[in-house]
Every structure is written in structure tokens, then in C-alpha cells.
Amino acid sequence: METIYDILSKEHKIVLGMFEETSGSISKEALFRIKAEIEPHMAGEEKLYYPLLEEKEESSDAARKAHIEHNEARALMYELEGMDENSEDWTTRLNELKEAIMHHVQDEESKVFEVSRNILGQQKAEELARKYLEFKTSYREKIEAGESLA
């Protein structure tokens, strides 16, 4: 069965691929598509995965740092949403977002996953995968229904 690591890594590849595909000139529309991939992923990690790591001393720093990086990515995406896609600032900020996400993914797959493999057993990692996928499904349904995510 798939573990949480398999699923998160797969999604990381999708997002990085979306940045590559449109490299050079990412339109606002392309940014919205990227954002729609990233948001449920970050929310799921924050709701189900990071809290397990924050509980343990050996992984709490890595999880807290990852959470901060999510908020930095959110701030950049929010800023980009309000910008003109033809401006120079747009390209600068977009590259910052891409760098930030690449850096976060690298950190997550090396540091975070590594420490987490010592904490969560195989069974727990599989159970977490199942819960994460359920969370994402309901997150998407709520968005489509226009419901609040709180």
C-alpha cells in the first residue's frame, strides 16, 4: 500500500512539473492552476502530517520550519494574485515563488521525511496516506460547493 511519502512525493513532482512546463512566462491563469494543486496539499500536510511531527522533539523543528515555508509561499501567491501579469515584478515574484517551493520540496523530502520515517512506522504511514487522500477529497468538495474551509 502507498504511504504518505509516496503520495506527497508524487504531488511534489506534479507541482514542480507545472512550473517547468510554463517556464519563462507563467500566466495568471497558470498560477491559479498551480495554486489549486498546492493549497489542498499544504492544508492536508498541516492538518494531518505536521502535527504528528510537532509532537516529537526530534522532528518538531523541521515541522515548524516547513509550516513557516508554507506561509511564505501563501504570501507570495497572494501577492501575485493582485499583480499585473505583464509587469516585471510579476516575473521576479514568480521566480521567488518557484525557488521557495523547490527549496521547500527538497527540505521536505530529505529532512522532514527522513526524521519522520524514524517516528512513524509503515502502518502509520499507510494510514496517514488514506486519511490525507480523504481530507483532500473533502477539501475539494467544500471548495466546489463554496463552503468555508474553517
Residue from 7, 31, 44, 45 that binds Fe ion (CB under 5 A)? 45
Whichever of 39 and 45 has its CB closer to Fe ion, that residue is: 45
Report phi then psi at 56, rounded to 5.
-105, 140
Instruction: Give me the least distance between CB of 84 and Fe ion, in Å please.
Output: 29
Whichever of 26 and 53 has its CB closer to Fe ion, that residue is: 53
Q: Which of residues 3-42 bind Fe ion (CB under 5 A)?
A: 8
Q: Which residues contact 94 (CB under 8 A, 6 or more apart)?
A: 26, 31, 80
Cα dihedral 114, 126, 19, 50 sign: negative
Instruction: Give me the least distance between CB of 75 and Fe ion, in Å please.
Output: 15
Would you give the binding string for Fe ion spanning residues 82-121, x where CB under 5 A is met? --------------------------x-------------
| CA separation for the pair 44, 41 (Å, rounded) | 5
Report phi then psi at 19, rounded to 5.
-65, -40
Binding positions for Fe ion, rule: CB under 5 A: 8, 45, 108
